[in-house]
Amino acid sequence: MTLPPDHPPVVAPRVGVLLVNLGTPDAPDPPSVRRYLGQFLSDRRVVEIPPILWQPILRGIILTTRPKKSAHAYAQIWTEDGSPLAAITRAQTAALQAALGDGVEVAYAMRYGEPAIGRAIDALTDAGCRRILIAPLYPHYCAATTATVVDAAADHLKTLRWQPTLRFLPPYADDPAYLGALKTSVEAGLAALDFAPDMLLASFHGMPERTLRLGDPYHCQCQKTARLLSEALGRPVGVAFQSRFGRAKWLEPATDVQLEALAKAGKSVAIFAPGFAADCLETLEELAIRGREQFMAAGGRQFAYLPCLNADAPGMTMIEALVRRELAGWI
């Protein structure tokens, strides 16, 4: 590139990929959890109660009492590398960078917490990325997840004089690459068990039932993933929804209710969480620890939690395939 002598340095143009996950506190302590929950639960896509009604509740009882309890839960799964979600997302980013090579700059961000989406976009543009694929790692579309990533990116673009060109990875609930990765991962998990579970239960993150009535395709997409995976595995896959919060009616059946019923019926269970791209609080603590405890306390016999796709080979093969497809024409 030939520039005039007094021209400022120009970074060679590149293509960027930004992997985005939900987020995590910086540490398993109440102040860190309070900051994280304050940001997360203030998103009007997440809690659709008018702020004038919701914020006093949030800043009052919720952020006064919940951080201590949640910090204890985070402490049970925290590792030497920090939050499992953050550590796995970093590993996914490194693996994708290695697969795509030097012509593409791969980074990651969290919708809530750090690194923030806006700062990650700035870092990519500083590295010369004028075209960026933003990849929300949510297989199933919901306004409270996928849409908030688009919101954050759009809000940051409003602050920029020279905006990069953006693409967004679509939801992939019925994508053959995703279903193939799930099949391989679940089969490997089942093969490693010392028992044959009576029930294979897919636990998806819960959403208020009103999101279905308002038009979110989330519930239908979760059901479709389970149905297609069941066909691929050649065995039934049950569906449940976890992480209920508040008094509103949520999507059913609830995971905790299902586990208790299966335990009382004398069934053995293998549970997995296909809606999560990486193991996190909701899988490692809510399912693998509390879910097991609840199941056994209700008289259950055998219980296993099967890990998420994480940065293992099936999951990374899927992410690379999806990303390469969306980068068509750019690389």
Measure the CA–CA gap between 196 and 120, rounded to whole angstroms: 44
Give 287-310 pLDDT, tens digit per residue. 999 999 999 999 999 999 999 999
**Residue 211 Cα distances to 141, 167, 302, angstroms:** 11, 25, 34
Q: What is the mean pLDDT of residues 102-123?
A: 97
What is the per-residue pLDDT for 13? 87
**Where does 197-307 have alpha helices with state H?**
209-213, 218-233, 255-264, 292-297
What is the per-residue pLDDT for 97? 98
Give 209-227 pLDDT, tens digit per residue. 999 999 999 999 999 999 9
Give 249-283 pLDDT, tens digit per residue. 999 999 999 999 999 999 999 999 999 999 999 99
The two beta strands, 129-136 and 165-168, are parallel
**Percentage of the chain exceeding pLDDT 70:** 100
Q: What is the mean pLDDT of residues 18-30?
A: 98
Closest CA to 281 of 85, 95, 87: 85
User: Among 1-10, 76-85, 157-166, 242-251, which is the least confidently predicted range?
Assistant: 1-10
What is the per-residue pLDDT for 314? 98
| Residue 4 pLDDT grade (very low, low, confident, very high; cuts 50, 70, 90) | confident
What is the per-residue pLDDT for 1? 62
User: Cis omega (within 30 of 0) on the bond before 25?
Assistant: no
Residue-wise DSSP of 47-89: --S-HHHHHHHIIIIIHHHHHHHHHHHHHHH-BTTB-HHHHHH
Looking at the whole model, is its pTM more than 0.85?
yes
**E strand or H helix at 156:** helix 146-157
What is the per-residue pLDDT for 95? 98
